[in-house]
Amino acid sequence: QVQLVESGGGLVQAGGSLRLSCAASGLTFSRSTMGWFRQAPGKEREFVARITRFYGTTDYADSVKGRFTISRDNAKSTVYLQMNSLKPEDTAVYYCAGAAGGDYEYWGQGTQVTVSS
- At 63-86, the pLDDT tens digits run 999 999 999 999 999 999 999 999
At residue 54, the pLDDT reads 82
Q: 3-class DSSP state for residue 101?
A: coil
Residues of the chain predicted below pLDDT 50: none
Q: Give percent of the chain with pLDDT exceeding 90.
A: 95
Angle at 54 between CA 24 and CA 100, to 5 degrees: 50
Task: Give the chain's mean pLDDT.
Answer: 96
Burial 73-87 (b: 16+ CB within 10 A, else e): eeeebbbbbebeebe
